[in-house]
Amino acid sequence: MTFEDALKRKNELGETYNFDEKTVAKIWVVPEKENDLHAYVTDYRSTKFDDNSAKLYSSNSEYKVCALWTDGINVLKKALV
C-alpha cells in the first residue's frame, strides 16, 4: 500500500499493540518488502525513528503497518495489515 494508506491504517489502529500483558509494542509504518524491513528492524534497535523513516528503507515505495518491540537486542514484530 502507499505510505499515505499505511499511515491512515496506523491511525485507525492506534499507537500501541499488546503482544501480551507485559509486552507493549509501538505501531509503525514500515517497508513492505522483507529485505527492506529487515534492514529497517536492524536499525530500529538503535535509532530514533518516526513513520517517515520507512521511506528511507523502502526500495519500492510500498508499505505496511507493523507492531515493533525491542529491548535493545531482541525485536518482536507483527504485521498488522
- pLDDT score, position 47: 83
What number is the average pLDDT over the span 1-16?
96
Q: Is 33 exposed, middle or buried (0-12, 13-18, 19+ CB in 10 A)?
A: middle
Query: What is this structure's pTM?
Result: 0.89
Chain-centroid distance, C-alpha 19: 14
- Give tens-digit pLDDT for 16-57: 999 988 899 999 999 999 999 999 998 988 888 899 999 999
CA distance 28 to 5: 13
Cβ 6 vs Cβ 81: under 8 Å: yes
Beta bridge partners of 63: 31
Q: Which of 50, 46, 38, 47 is nearest to 77 (CA)?
A: 38
The structural domains of the chain, with segments of one domain joined by +, span 3-79
